[in-house]
Amino acid sequence: MSLIKPFRALYYNPELVRDLSKVVCPPYDITDKKEDKFFKKMSPYNFCNILKVDDKHDYSYLANTFERWIDKRVLIEDDKPCFYLYEQNFYFENKIHKRVGLLGLLRIDKEGVIFPHEYTFGTPRKDRYYIIKKLKANLSPIFVIVPGRIGPLSSSYESYRSKRPIISFTDFSGIKNRVWRIDSGIRLRGIEASFRNRHLFIADGHHRFEVAYRYFKAVGAEVKDACYILAYFTDSYSGLLILPTHRVVKLNIPFDAFLNKISKYCDITECDKGVFRQSFNKAEPRRMIFGLYDGKTFYLLRLKSIVFSDKIFEEAQNAAYKNLDVYMLHKFILPKVKKRDDIVYTHSMDEAIKMSKGGRVSFILRPTPLKGVFNMARKGHRLPQKSTYFYPKLLSGIVARRIGL
Average pLDDT over residues 68-95: 95
121-171 tens-digit pLDDT: 889 999 999 999 999 999 999 999 999 889 999 999 999 999 999 999 999
Closest among 332, 387, 361, 352 to 252, alpha carbons compared: 361
> Which has the higher per-residue pLDDT, 111 or 26?
26
Q: What's the N-to-C CA distance of the chain in angstroms?
A: 17
Closest among 379, 359, 383, 310 to 117, alpha carbons compared: 383
Average pLDDT over residues 20-26: 97
In angstroms, rounded to a whole number, what is the distance separating the alpha carbons of residues 165 and 399? 14
Closest among 306, 304, 294 to 357, alpha carbons compared: 294
Confidence band for 6, pLDDT divided at 50, 70 and 90: very high
CB atoms within 10 A of CB 395: 25
Domain ranges of the chain: 4-240+391-402, 245-366
258-301 tens-digit pLDDT: 899 888 888 899 988 777 777 766 656 556 788 999 999 999 98
- Omega of the bond prior to 6 within 30 degrees of 0, cis? no
> Which has the higher per-residue pLDDT, 319 or 173?
173
Q: Is the pLDDT of residue 187 over 90?
A: yes
Q: Is the pLDDT of residue 252 over 90?
A: no
In angstroms, rounded to a whole number, what is the distance separating the alpha carbons of residues 301 and 337? 15
- Do the beta carbons of residue 343 and residue 329 sit within 8 Å? no
Q: Is 255 exposed, middle or buried (0-12, 13-18, 19+ CB in 10 A)?
A: middle
98-127 tens-digit pLDDT: 999 999 999 999 888 999 988 888 899 999
Kindly write down the DSSP assignment for every residue of 100-151, as one continuous string: EEEEEEEES--TTTEE--B---HHHHHHHHHHHHHH-EE-S-EEEEESS--H
Confidence band for 321, pLDDT divided at 50, 70 and 90: low
Confidence band for 316, pLDDT divided at 50, 70 and 90: very low
Task: Say how far residue 141 (Cα) sits from the centre of its chain.
Answer: 10
In angstroms, rounded to a whole number, what is the distance separating the alpha carbons of residues 125 and 136? 16
Average pLDDT over residues 366-387: 84
Q: Which residues pair with 85 in a beta bridge?
A: 102, 180
Single-letter residue type at 199? H
CB atoms within 10 A of CB 37: 13
pTM over 0.75: yes
Strands 228-235 and 142-146: parallel
In angstroms, rounded to a whole number, what is the distance separating the alpha carbons of residues 19 and 17? 6
Closest among 219, 203, 93 to 142, alpha carbons compared: 203
Angle between helices 206-219 and 122-135 (to 10 degrees): 50
